[in-house]
Structure 1
Amino acid sequence: MLKNKKMVQIYNCHPFVSQEIIPIKNEPDLICCGGDSLFVVSAGGCKIEVFDIRDEGPKFLCSFATIGKVLHITYSEVGDYLVTIEEKNAVTSLRAYMNWKFHVMEMSPVGVRMVGHMTQITQKEQMEIVEMPVSEPPTCISCCPVEGDLLVGCRNSLVIFCLKQQSEHGELPRLDFECSLMLHLTNVTPLQVAFCAGYIGVITDLEAFILKLDPVNQESKGTEKILTAESKLATQRSGRQKQALSKSVVHSDQDNFIVCQRPVELLGADCSSCGISIKLEWLGLPDEQSKSLEVNIILYRCFAPDYSQGYAVDSTRLHSLQLLPMYCTGNLVESEELCGNKKLLSLFCFFSLPHTGYLYTVMNAVELIATYQYSENSQQAHLTLQFLHVITSSKLQCYTTRCSAAAARQEDPYIDTDLKACPPTNLDVCILRMQLFLGLKSICHFKNHIILLTKASAEEKVGKEKVSRKFQSGKSSSPVRKPKISVEAEAAWNLYVINTVTAFKLYKEMVEYSKRYQANMTKSCIHLLNEAHLLLRGALMDHRLTDPAEKKKLLAAFKDSCAELGDCFSRFNVKNYRLALPYYKMSGLSLSDVISRDVSAIEEGEQVYRKSFLVYLKQSLFEEVDKELSKEAAFKVLQIFSISEPSHLPHVICSPCMRNTCPTAALEFLQKLEAVQPSCLVTLAKATVALKMKDLQLYRREMARYNEIPLVLGFTEEPRLLVSHKNELVIPTEFARHLKETQAGLLVAALVSFHENSRISLEEVEIFFKVLCEESAEDEAAPQLMVDFWEALLVYCAHESMIQELLFKLTVVYIQRICGKQRLGARALKTAEDLMNSYSQYGLIFPWVNYITPSEYIRTNDYPEEVQKLQSLLCGPSIGVSHIQPLVEQLPQNDNVGLSIRVLCDTRLGKYEMCVDKLLDQCPQAVLPYAYHEMKEEKQVLWWKKLLPELCRRIRGNGCESHLLVSSLKETLSVVANQLDPLDFLNLLPHDGAAVFFLPYLLQCCNYKQAS
C-alpha cells in the first residue's frame, strides 16, 4: 500500500467553538443533514424527525413516518428531497420523499405514487412519497449536488435516476424522476457510491474506483430502444485473474496459507488494466445526448487487508466515500464582487481505510494530493472545502485539506508566478484538533455545523464524567447548553451539534499560534501560515459566500495573510525565497510599506538583509510603477543595496520609483562603487546624476571616458538610462533628450542595440522617437532620428520579414519627401553614399540611372537626397518591388526623377520592353546605357526583337531628324551584327530602308562570322 512518508504537523488550535445537544426523545440510529435541517431516523427505523440547525440552535421542525425500516438515508439540496432505502417484510425498496416540509403533523395526508406517474394533489401543500422500482435490491444511494440526479447502487449494477420538472393540467411544476441509465458491473458489489456531475465513485471492501460518463460522437446510430456498449477499458486479464484481484484474501486448503493481493494504484489511461468490465444500458427513451455517451475509469485503487487490528472485516474495509465539488468564483480572491454562477471548477474524491485516508483531485487530471494517517482506527470521515473531520471511537479529529490550493490552480492560470502564489497541495498533513467524545458512531456536516451521534458502551460510561470535565476545561469549549433529559438517556446516547468557528477567527488564532515558531522553527511557522492562508482562500472560493460585508472582511484578512507570508519568505533563510515577491504583490502593500516592515525588523537586530528581500526590491524597482518613493525611502534603498549588493546600484538609480533620490547622495554611493568596481555602466549612471544636478562639466568629463561602443554596451545593460515607461507609454529620459542635441548618433546606436537584444520592440522605438521629436520643427510622421534608426537597423537585422518591413517604411518616407521636395532642418546621420558603401541592402546606382537623373539635375531642381537613397534601394538586392509599386504612383509623371524610379521598378519586375518605350519617349539618351546594362544573357534577344525595330520605326516617323535616335540605331546595329548570322541579320533589316546605310553593318556581320 502506498504510504505517505511526510510528517504530520500537530497543533492545538480551536476549530470548534461550542456544542449543543439535540433534544430528541427516541434513540437515533441514522442521521443526515442539508438545507439547514437535520434528519434523524429513530432506532426503530420507521420514523424521521427533522430539526432546524441554523445559528439560533437546534429546533424541532417536523416528523413523519416511513413505510418501512430505513436502512440508508440521504438528502439532496437540489430539489429539496429525501431518498431512503427501506425494508419491509424482507423486501428492500427505494423511496423519495418530496415536499417533506409540509408534513407538519403526523396525521397530515401523504400522497404515494410510482415514479413517472403524476397524481392529482388534493392539497397545495402535501408530502409525496415516490416509489422507485429497481431490478435488484438497492444497497447504497447518492445524490448529485450539482444536478440533483440520483445514483442507486445494487448488487452488480448502478442505476441513474434523472431529476426533472413536470407539470400537468396547468398545475405548478412538480419534481419527478426518470430512470435513464444502468451500468452493469462485472464481479463488483458496491459498498458505497458517490455521484457528482457525471462522475461516479464506487468502493467495495478493498477496492475504490471512479467512473466518468463522457459524451462522444458516434458516426453510426442504432435504432434499438435499449443500447448496450462495452466500456473502452477492455478487460486485459482473464476471469480467474479478476477474481484474484477482487477478493482480498485467497485461502489454500492444501497448504494452509493465506495469500494477500498486492496493492494497486492506476490513474487515467492506465486504468484499462484494472479488469473491471462495464456495460451501459439505456432505460429511458433514447435521445441524441444519451446515444453519444461512454464510460471511462479514471481512478482505480486496490488495497491489501490490514491485519494489525485482527481479522475482522470491519477493521480493514474502506469507508466514507465522497465526491466534493468546488465551483468557479470569478477570481473572488481579487474582487469584492460576488459570483452568482454555479459552474463546476474542481472535483475531489475522498475515501478511507481504518488508518489512512486518501484525497484525490479527479477533474482534468487525476492526482493524489493528500494522504492522512490516523492515530487510531477511524469510524467515519467527512470532507469539507477546508477540513477533513474524522471520528474514531473516542475522538473527533480535524485535519486541514488542500482542496482550495488545487482548485485555485485550475481557476487562475497566473498562480505560481511572480504575480501570484498559492501554497502547494503537497504540504505536510496538519491536524488542528483532537476533541474527546465517548462512543462516536456517526458524523455529518452542513455549513458551520458538525453533527455527531454517540452511543457509549458500558465500559465507556464509567469514565464519561472524567472525560466530560476534560472537554469542558479546553479553551475552545464554551458553556454547553443541555436540555433537561433523563440520566439514562444521556448515559446511553447523545446527538451533538458542534458549532465550528468562522474562518476569520480561526485564521487569527493560527497567525498568533505561528508566532511561537518564528524564533527557531521557521518551517513550522511558514507551514502554519500556509494553512491559515489556504483556510481564507477556501472560504473565499466557497460559492455559499453571499454576504458582501463578510466577503470584504475575508479579503482584508487574505491580504494580511499574504503580507505575513511575504515577511516570512523575505526574512527567513528558506529554499523558496522567491515567493516573497508574489505574496507581497498579492498583499496590496506599497513598496514603501514593505521597506518599512522589513527595515524595522532588520533594525531590531533579528537578521540581515536576505536574498529574498533583495529579489523583491529588484523586481519592484525594475517594474515601471507610478508610485514614487519618498526622499527618505529612496535613500534607504540606496543604503540597503550599498551594503548588500552594491553592483546593482546603477540599476536602482535608474528606476522610476527613485526619481526623488537626492543626486548628491546617489553620486556619493556611485563614487564608492567606482573606486572598487569601475565600469561603463557606473560612468553612465554618474552622467545621468550629473544631468540631474545640471553639472554639464561633470557630465562631459564622464562621457569622455569611453568611446561609442562601450557606451552603447553600457546603455544596453540598463536601457532605463534612456527609455522610461509610464502607463504603458514610452517616454524618453532627460539623458535621451540631451543626447538628441549633442550625440544623436550614439542615441540611435543605443536604440538599435536595445532592439537587437530584445530590450525594446520596433513599435516602442517609433513611439520613443515621436515623443522625443514632438517639440522640434519636424512636422512629418517620421522624424529624421526615426529614419536614421531604420537605416541603421538594416545593418544588423537578420530576419527577412523585418528587413522587408524596414524597407517598406523607408520607401514610404523617401517617396513622401521626394513628392514634397522637403528640405528638413535635421540632417540625416548617413548620406546616400554612406549607405551605399556600408549597407548591403543599398546597392550602387546603375550607370544608366545617372543618365536620367544626374547630380546636377537633382541639385538644380531642389530634390532632397532621398532620391538617391531610394534609387540605391531599388538597385539593391533585398527590396520587394511589388509591395511598393502603389507608392511609386505618387511620384510626378513628367520629370526624370519619377521616370528613373518607375523604370527601376519595372526592370525589377521584368518589364523590359515597357522600360525601353518609356526611355525612348522621355529620355532616349539613357536607352543604350540601359540596354548594355540590362539586356544581357537571356535578355539579349531584346536588342533585335525590341530595340532595333523600335528605333527604325521612330526614325522613319521623325524623318531622320533625331540625331540621338540615329546614333542609338547605329550602336544597336553594331551590337546585333556581332550576335546574329548574316542571313538572320539581313532578315531583320527593314525592306524599305536605304541599303547604303545598312551595308556596312551587314559586311561587319559577315566578317565577324568568318573570323569566328
Structure 2
Amino acid sequence: MVHVYNCHPFSSQHIVQVEQEPGLVCCGGGALFVVATGGCKVEAYDLEQGSCPLICRFATMGAVASIQHSKMGDYLVTIEEKNSATYLRVYTNWRHQAEERARVGVRLLGHLLRGGSMRGGAQMEIIEIPLSERPVAVACCAVTGDLLVGCGNTLVLFTLRRQNQNSLQILQGAGPGAHQNPGPSQTVSILDFERSVILHLSELTPKQVALCDSYVAMQTELEVLVLKLEASSEPEVQEESPDINQDDQPDFLVLPRHQELLGDRAKDCGVHVSVERTGLEDGGRSSVSYVLFRSLIPDSSPGGVAEEILLQSLQLRPLFTRHQSAPPDGPACVFCFFSLPSSGYLYSLKGCVERLSVYQYPERVLAAALTDQLLHVITSEFREHNVLTGIFQAVGIDPTTTPALGSLLSRPLLSRKWASPPPRGSSAAGHGWNLYVIDTVPPLTLYRELVEYSRRYVATTPQAQSLRHLLSEAHLLLRAAALQQQNREGGAAEGTAGGRELDDAFRQNCAQLGDSFSRACQKDCHLALPYYRMSGLSVEEVVSRNRPLPSSPRSHGPGFLFYLKHHLLEETAPRLSQEAADEVVAIFSQSEPSQLVGVCVGPAMANMSPARTLQALQRAEATAGVSVATMMLLLDELPQFTQLMERHAEMLLLYGFMEEPRLLLHGGGGGGGQHGHARPTALARQLVNSQPGLLVAAMVALHASGGVQLQQADHVFKALGCERCLQVDFWEAILMASSQEDVVQELLFRVASVYIDRLTDARPDPPRGRGPLKSADILINSCCHYGALYPWLTVLNPARTSNAQHQEAPHKLQSLLCGPSLSVGAVSPLLDGLPEETSWGFSLHLLRATRRGQYDSCIEKLLDRCPQAIIAYGNHHFQDEDKVLWWTKLLPELCNRTRAAADNGILLAALKETVVVVAMEMSPAEFLELIPDDGAASYFLPHLLTCCQRHLLT
C-alpha cells in the first residue's frame, strides 16, 4: 500500500442542517438518511441536488439502533428498541412519506394489506419481521436485495421477492421508481420477504454481518468467517459437533495467533455450521461451504488496550466487469474487507480465495469504508484515503499488463497524511447541528493532481522510487475509473468524450511509468515492457524518450534495453524504418553486443542497412558467425557466405541455431511456438542446397528443445519445396532421437506411408540430385525402431532397379516391419495396395502375415513362390511353441510337393533339412508314425537311425 499525501480527494462539501443531534446516518438511492440520537424519526435528504433538500421524514415505531438502505428494492431496514424489546422492521415506499402527510401501512412478513398497497403502492409500508432471537446485526445484498440478520447464534437469510396477483417472483432490481402507480393493464406488485435459510452457528456470536450474492460473512470481536450458500439437490448430512468434556480441559487457555484459513482449508476452523431450509417456494436444499476464516489474536504486550484489538468495518463488495444490473452468473468477483484499528485486510473470494492487500494505518482508526476506487479511514482528527491495490488481479486482468499490482502490495509509507479540516461546531440560527456531505474529486482530476504533485516532488527530492509510487497510485485510479465507467455505459465508454479523456490519461500515465522503469534497477526493469505496451507508443517514440543526455553517466537504462529486445522478438511487431533500425543496431552494439544477433534477425529489423549491421556483427564474429553469414546473404555475397559457414564447426552452428531459432524460422512465436505457421528465412533456403544435412540437424535440435512442433516443421519443409525429401529425412532423424511415444508412432506411420508411396509411384518425388541422408543400413544400426532384416528376406531380395528410391524404400519398409515398434494394423490398409506379383510386394505381404502369426499360409506361399527360402524361414520363426509346425505342417507339405514335382531338387534339399530337424526333436516311435507308407521309407531310414541313436544316448 502507498499513501499519497497533500493531494486533496474532495472537490466540495454541502452542509445539511438538522435540528437534533444526529445519531445514525446512512446513504443509498441518492439519499442521506439521518436518525437523531435516541430518536424515533428518520429524515431523508436528496444528495443529488447541491442544496441537499429534504425528501421526506417519517416516524419509526421505536428507537432506531441500526439502519441500512438497500439499492435493490429501495427499502430501509432498521433494528428498533421499544419497551425493552428489539424489533426488525423494513420500510418500503418511504419516498411517498413527504412531510408526514401520507398514510402508513403496517403488516407482518408475508401478509398483504388492502387499500393503498393493492392500488399500486401509493403509501409507505412497514413490514414487521418476527424473530425467535434478538437481532444484533443486519445487512442487505447489493446484488439481489436479500436481507441477512445476525442473531445470538444464528444467521437468518430473507429473500427479497415481488408479490403480485399472479405469482411470486424473485426481485431482480427495483429502483426508486419501482412502486409508481401501474396503468390499467399492469400487474400490481408489492415488495415482500421470505425466510429462506437459517444458519446455526457453534462457538461464534456475530457482531457484524455482510451479504453479497451467495456469500455470507460474519464478524465477532476477533474472528471473521465467510461462507457460501449453494442450492443442492442432495439431502444434507448433518454433522454432530464434538462433545467436549469440561473435566478433560487443561488448566490453561491456548490462543491461536493470527490464524488464516483460505478456501477448502477454512472448514478446519472449528466452527460448526448447520443449514436449516425454511423457504416455501422450492423444495430444494441448501448447502454451505467454508470460504475464509481469519482469527486476529494480537501480541499480549503489557499495557495493551482492549479496544485496539477489536475487529470492525466488515464489508462484502461485488465487482462487475460488464454492464448488467443483475447478471445471471453474478459479479465477476466479490471482495471481503475488514479492519483492525491498526490495519485493514482485503481478500478476493470468488474463484481463487486469496489475500490481496494489507493496509497498515499510521494511527488508530475509528472506522473504515471500502469504495470502488479508494479506502477511506477515519481517525480521531483526520480522514485518510488509500488507493486500492489488487483489484485487477482478482478479476482476471493479466498481472503482466498491470505490473503495478505486484510492486504495490504492502509497500512502506511515504511523507505525511492527507487531511481535511475538522467540521465546524456551529451553524445558522434555528439549527443546532450540521452534517457535512463531501463530494470526492473525479478520478481524472485526482490523477492530474497526483501527476502535478509528483513533478513538484521529484523536483525537490529526485528519488525515482518515490516518484514511481505516485505514478503507480495514479495508474490504479485510472484503471478503476475506466472499469467503473465501462460498467455504467455498457462497455461503450471508449467512444464517449469521458472515455477518450480517460484513455488519453491512461496512456500518458503508462508512458511515464515506462520511462521510470526503463531506468530502474535490474530487479524492476522488466516492468518497462508492459507499461510501454499499454502506452501505445511506437518503438521510434520510445527510443526518442530514452536517448541519453550528454551529461548522463550511463548510455541506456536496463529497462529500456529489456523493452527493446523483447518488443523486437515479437513476430507481429511493425517494421522499423531504416533510420530507426540502424539506431537500434547502434544501441545494442554499444550497450549489449551479445544480444545483437537476436535483435538483427527479427522481422521488425528487415529495413536495417546490411552494410552497417555487418560492420557491427563482424566485431562479434566469434559469437555471431551465423548472423554474420545472414548479413552476407542479404548482401548477395554468396562466396563470403560459404567461406563464413565453413569457418565454424557444425556443432557450433547447431548451438547457434538453438540459441536463436529465428536465424532459420520466422513466425509461430519466434521460432516455433505451439501456434501459428513458421516460415523459413533466407538462410534456411540457402542451406537446402548447400548444407541440407545441417538444416535437418538444426530442425531436429529445435524440435528436441521445443522450438518447433511437427506441424510447423511440415509447413517449413513445404515452403522450402522439399516436403518429400528433406522432410522425410527430418522424420527419420526424429525417430533416431525422440523418446516420446506419441511422436514415435505418428512418425512411424508417416515414413511407412512414404516408403509405400515410393514403391507404388503413387506420388513421385521431385528430383533432388542425391540419395537420402540416412540409408537403410544406417537406420538399422542406429535406430531401435528399425529392425535387422530376417535372414530369409535375403533369399527373397529382388533385383536392383535403376531408381535409387526403389532401392532404399523397400529395405527401410522391410526393416520397419522387422522392428519392434511399427503397428502392423496401422499400415495394413496401405500394404493392400502393393501387388504381390512383384518381389518387393510378395516379401512385404509375407512379412505382414508373419507378424500376424499366419504361419500356415506363409508356408504355402513360400513353397509356391520361393521354396529355397523355406528352411531359413522355419529356422527363424519355428522356435519354442511354434516348432511343432516342422512336422505338423511343413513335413507333410514337402513330402507331397516333392513326390508331385518333376524337378524336385530344391524341394528334396528342403525336405532333407526338415527331416534332420524332425529327427532331432521326436522319439523313434513318433518318427515312424510320420514316415509315409507309400514305399519311400528307405529315404527316411538314415534319419530314423540318427533318431534312435540320439534316443539311446539320452
Alignment TM class, shorter chain as reference = 0.7 to 0.9
Q: 1:368 to 1:848 in 2, by over 3 A?
A: closer
**1:882-897 → structure 2 map (5 Å cutoff):** 882-897=825-840
**1:898-937 → structure 2 map (5 Å cutoff):** 898-937=841-880
Consecutive unaligned residues in structure 1, runs of 5 or more: 1-5, 223-227, 247-260, 440-453, 462-484, 775-781
Q: TM-score, normalised by structure 1?
A: 0.82
Does structure 1 residue 145 correspond to structure 2 residue 93?
no
1:629 CA drift (Å): 1.4
2:257–2:295 CA contact under 8 A, matched in 1: no
- Give, in whole Å, the separation in 1 of the partners of 2:913 and 2:407: 88
2:223–2:311 CA contact under 8 A, matched in 1: no
Q: 1:156 to 1:797 in 2, by over 3 A?
A: closer
Give the aligned partner of residue 130 of structure 2: 133
Give the aligned partner of residue 477 of structure 1: none
Give the aligned partner of residue 357 of structure 2: 369
1:841–1:873 CA contact under 8 A, matched in 2: yes
Give the aligned partner of residue 163 of structure 1: 160
Aligned mate of 2:469, from 523, 527, 533: 527
Aligned mate of 1:569, from 508, 517, 537: 517
1:155 CA drift (Å): 4.7
Give the aligned partner of residue 536 of structure 2: 588
1:210–1:297 CA contact under 8 A, matched in 2: yes
User: What secondary structure sits across from 2:630 in the alignment?
Assistant: helix
2:227–2:288 CA contact under 8 A, matched in 1: no
- Whichever residue aligns with residue 62 of structure 1, its letter is C
- Give, in whole Å, the separation in 1 of the partners of 2:610 and 2:910: 75
Q: Over residues 159-197 of structure 1, what are the superposed CA-to-partner deviations in whole Å (9 max), with x where a residue is unaligned?
A: 332212222368433221122344455676544333333
Give the aligned partner of residue 447 of structure 1: none
Q: 1:357 to 1:842 in 2, by over 3 A?
A: closer
**1:568-647 → structure 2 map (5 Å cutoff):** 568-573=516-521, 575-599=523-547, 602=549, 605=552, 607-647=554-594
Q: Over residues 77-119 of structure 1, what are the superposed CA-to-partner deviations in whole Å (9 max), with x where a residue is unaligned?
A: 1111111223344443221111222334522222211101122
Does structure 1 residue 850 correspond to structure 2 residue 794?
yes
Which sits farther off after the overlay, 265-274 or 654-663?
Answer: 265-274
Q: 1:140 to 1:626 in 2, by over 3 A?
A: closer
- Give, in whole Å, the separation in 2 of the partners of 1:721 and 1:136: 77
**1:490-889 → structure 2 map (5 Å cutoff):** 492-518=432-458, 520-542=462-484, 544-546=487-489, 548=493, 549=496, 550-573=498-521, 575-599=523-547, 602=549, 605=552, 607-674=554-621, 678-679=622-623, 682-725=624-667, 728-773=676-721, 782-820=723-761, 822=764, 824-826=766-768, 827=770, 828-856=772-800, 858-859=801-802, 863=806, 865-889=808-832
Does structure 1 residue 212 correspond to structure 2 residue 206?
no
1:516 CA drift (Å): 3.7
- Give, in whole Å, the separation in 2 of the partners of 1:215 and 1:819: 66
- Whichever residue aligns with residue 545 of structure 1, its letter is R
- Whichever residue aligns with residue 895 of structure 1, its letter is T
- Give, in whole Å, the separation in 1 of the partners of 2:301 and 2:341: 9
- Give, in whole Å, the separation in 2 of the partners of 1:242 and 1:134: 38
Consecutive unaligned residues in structure 2, runs of 5 or more: 168-186, 670-675
User: What secondary structure sits across from 2:34 in the alignment?
Assistant: strand
Give the aligned partner of residue 330 of structure 2: 343
Aligned mate of 2:208, from 158, 177, 192: 192
- Whichever residue aligns with residue 887 of structure 1, its letter is L
Q: 1:898 to 1:57 in 2, by over 3 A?
A: farther
1:278 CA drift (Å): 5.5
2:4–2:418 CA contact under 8 A, matched in 1: no
- Whichever residue aligns with residue 776 of structure 2, its letter is A
- Give, in whole Å, the separation in 2 of the partners of 1:574 and 1:339: 46
Aligned mate of 1:412, from 396, 403, 409: 396
1:245 CA drift (Å): 8.2
1:419 CA drift (Å): 9.3
User: What secondary structure sits across from 1:595 in the alignment?
Assistant: helix
User: What secondary structure sits across from 2:12 in the alignment?
Assistant: strand
User: What secondary structure sits across from 2:647 in the alignment?
Assistant: coil
2:9–2:440 CA contact under 8 A, matched in 1: yes
1:736 CA drift (Å): 0.9
1:726 CA drift (Å): 6.3
Q: Over residues 38-68 of structure 1, what are the superposed CA-to-partner deviations in whole Å (9 max), with x where a residue is unaligned?
A: 2222457233222222265523333333233
Q: 1:339 to 1:118 in 2, by over 3 A?
A: closer
Q: 1:626 to 1:370 in 2, by over 3 A?
A: closer
Q: 1:508 to 1:743 in 2, by over 3 A?
A: same
Give the aligned partner of residue 73 of structure 2: 79
- Give, in whole Å, the separation in 2 of the partners of 1:745 and 1:264: 65
Give the aligned partner of residue 90 of structure 2: 96
1:488 CA drift (Å): 5.9
- Give, in whole Å, the separation in 2 of the partners of 1:236 and 1:415: 48
- Give, in whole Å, the separation in 2 of the partners of 1:808 and 1:275: 60
Q: Over residues 703-727 of structure 1, what are the superposed CA-to-partner deviations in whole Å (9 max), with x where a residue is unaligned?
A: 2212433332332222211111168
Q: Over residues 768-822 of structure 1, what are the superposed CA-to-partner deviations in whole Å (9 max), with x where a residue is unaligned?
A: 1011117xxxxxxx42110111122232223344333322211010001111274
**1:350-429 → structure 2 map (5 Å cutoff):** 350-363=337-350, 364-365=352-353, 367=355, 369-375=357-363, 377-402=364-389, 405=390, 407-412=391-396, 414-416=398-400, 423-428=407-412
- Whichever residue aligns with residue 267 of structure 1, its letter is L
Give the aligned partner of residue 929 of structure 2: 987
1:849 CA drift (Å): 1.7
- Whichever residue aligns with residue 555 of structure 2, its letter is V
- Give, in whole Å, the separation in 2 of the partners of 1:641 and 1:839: 44
- Give, in whole Å, the separation in 2 of the partners of 1:185 and 1:943: 84
Q: 1:908 to 1:386 in 2, by over 3 A?
A: same
- Give, in whole Å, the separation in 2 of the partners of 1:841 and 1:295: 55
Q: CA RMSD in A?
A: 3.7
Give the aligned partner of residue 190 of structure 2: 174
User: What secondary structure sits across from 1:526 in the alignment?
Assistant: helix
- Whichever residue aligns with residue 742 of structure 1, its letter is S
Which sits farther off after the overlay, 118-127 or 995-1004?
Answer: 995-1004
- Give, in whole Å, the separation in 2 of the partners of 1:815 and 1:192: 78
1:86–1:93 CA contact under 8 A, matched in 2: yes
- Give, in whole Å, the separation in 2 of the partners of 1:865 and 1:304: 82
Q: 1:919 to 1:110 in 2, by over 3 A?
A: same
- Give, in whole Å, the separation in 2 of the partners of 1:413 and 1:885: 52
- Give, in whole Å, the separation in 2 of the partners of 1:534 and 1:862: 67
- Give, in whole Å, the separation in 2 of the partners of 1:339 and 1:94: 27
User: What secondary structure sits across from 2:64 in the alignment?
Assistant: strand
Q: 1:633 to 1:221 in 2, by over 3 A?
A: closer
- Give, in whole Å, the separation in 1 of the partners of 2:931 and 2:319: 92
- Give, in whole Å, the separation in 2 of the partners of 1:545 and 1:29: 33
- Whichever residue aligns with residue 870 of structure 1, its letter is L
Does structure 1 residue 976 correspond to structure 2 residue 924?
no
User: What secondary structure sits across from 2:357 in the alignment?
Assistant: strand
Q: Over residues 897-948 of structure 1, what are the superposed CA-to-partner deviations in whole Å (9 max), with x where a residue is unaligned?
A: 1110111222233332221122123333322332233334543332222111
- Give, in whole Å, the separation in 2 of the partners of 1:245 and 1:97: 46
1:32–1:39 CA contact under 8 A, matched in 2: yes
Q: 1:989 to 1:553 in 2, by over 3 A?
A: farther
- Whichever residue aligns with residue 435 of structure 2, its letter is L
1:396–1:437 CA contact under 8 A, matched in 2: no
Which sits farther off after the overlay, 11-20 or 874-883?
Answer: 874-883
1:31–1:38 CA contact under 8 A, matched in 2: yes
Q: 1:803 to 1:378 in 2, by over 3 A?
A: closer
- Give, in whole Å, the separation in 2 of the partners of 1:669 and 1:498: 63
- Give, in whole Å, the separation in 2 of the partners of 1:196 and 1:359: 15
- Give, in whole Å, the separation in 1 of the partners of 2:803 and 2:316: 87
Q: 1:57 to 1:587 in 2, by over 3 A?
A: farther
